[in-house]
Amino acid sequence: MYQIDFHTPAHIYFCGIGGISMSGLAEILLERGFQISGSDMKASPLTERLSKAGAKVLIGQKAQNITPDIDCVVFTSAIHRDNPEYLETERLHLPMLSRAELLGQFMRNYSCPIAVSGTHGKTTTTSMISEIMMAADTDPTLSIGGMLDSIGGNIRIGSGPYFVAEACEYTNSFLSMYPKIALILNIEEDHLDFFKDLEDIRRSFRLFAGKVPADGTLIINGDIENYEKLTQDLSCQICTFGTASSNDYYPLDISSLGEKGEIAHIMTPGGAVEIRLRIPGRHNIYNAMAALATADQLQIDPAITLKALRNFEGSRRRFEYKGTFNDVTVIDDYAHHPTEIASTLTAAADCPHNRLWCVFQPHTYSRTKALMEDFARALAKADVVVLSDIYPARETDNLGISSADLQQRIAALGTECYYLPDFESIEKFLAKKCIHQDMLITMGAGDIVKVGEALVQK
């Protein structure tokens, strides 16, 4: 396997350079003096940022983009083997790495890499840890799966020994990582286009936990069913957080402040502390507990940790306020799994509003089909649901389903639900139907955010 050496810059080509993680890795290598080029299917703020930083970004993926002077080509898991750039890389016998393999090699260049895994909450928890570490002047390098305003994007390049990154389980990407501190926030059914079932997912998380060295720490949610099976026989230190008092970190109480956030008293190994958050949602208290446990492992002053959490304003697309139209509050959220949807809508219910509207864009046919009933129950927490077409992402087979199937199940649960395939129809419908003091949440991992932004701009 090709090895990245920070001390010997080379020419690295990124196929899919506009992705949130790929762009961040490319930016780190640019900063290290590497020659960076790459392609994506369309221009974006991330590709523009890379171009300004000195990368050669090509729009469109073609065989002629791959040239013999390239030392290594990096591919995302979304790139198929029939991609012309993949085929040309093979024809030229150029070294290649997956995005996950490159990320894992990055970790070997830092003495304390931190990897945040779990079905939900990775970006928020990684962002919380990032804010704490910056407040503590540890000068970390950060790779976040979302945009964080305090660092002006999704990447921060530091000179300290710490590298903080999200660890995604899809296609077992996180098994290419080498964390000194690993977090497992939760484990649920997802990515069933790759995994067989929940037990298959648990096996992968067990392998991930086993990547932590004997002098490292695994921070794991004690609410995960039979979590002990994931941690048995591990040589590293085990630290737990969760609802029960048997955990190392657990809440004594949690109170919602509505749109102003959450407040909780948390028992820790060092005694009780008070966590105040500006972002709403009970689930974020548990994200904050995981971040607090991480900070304690790094021996950061708890006063610095709690202040950083208190000042944390969230990352983009996580219950992000977008503005108003016709006295209607517009929020955007990245939730695309039933548990995430339920948590977000529960948080929204604590905020002042008349009716709660959820405009949901299902993400991938396989996820929608596998979790159809769970999606229906979660979305039924809203007063009114509007569904767009399914965002296919990497998939081409619709598996014989559409958002109309989900609409029928939500309506059967007694919740008012509409299916309007295109964004223009949705915008016109909402402009007429949303009224004084309603709250509108655009939700999904695709591009549904455009609907709320268009309404606010009118």
Phi, psi values for residue 339, rounded to 5°: -65, -40
Say how many Å lie between the first and final Cα of the chain, rounded.
52
Cα(8)–Cα(14) distance, integer angstroms: 18
> Residue 59: enclosing H or E segment and its boundaries?
strand 56-59
Catalytic residue among 101, 166, 189, 259: 166
Cα(153)–Cα(205) distance, integer angstroms: 29
Beta strands in 157-285 (DSSP E): 162-166, 181-184, 217-221, 237-241, 250-256, 262-268, 271-277
User: What DSSP assignment string belongs to 387-436?
Assistant: E---B-TT----TT--HHHHHHHHHHTT-EEEE--SHHHHHHHHHHH--T
Cα(255)–Cα(435) distance, integer angstroms: 29
Q: What are the residues whose beta carbons fall under 8 Å from the beta carbon of 93, sequence distance 6 or more?
A: none
428 is catalytic: no
Catalytic residue among 47, 76, 119, 123: 123
339 is catalytic: no
* Side chain identity, residue 388: S
231 is catalytic: no
Cα(52)–Cα(88) distance, integer angstroms: 27
Distances (CA, A) of 352 to 252, 257, 397: 26, 11, 41
Q: What are the residues whose beta carbons fall under 8 Å from the beta carbon of 110, sequence distance 6 or more?
A: 141, 161, 162, 163
Q: What are the residues whose beta carbons fall under 8 Å from the beta carbon of 3, sequence distance 6 or more?
A: 105
Catalytic residue among 88, 101, 122, 364: 122
Catalytic residues: 122-123, 166
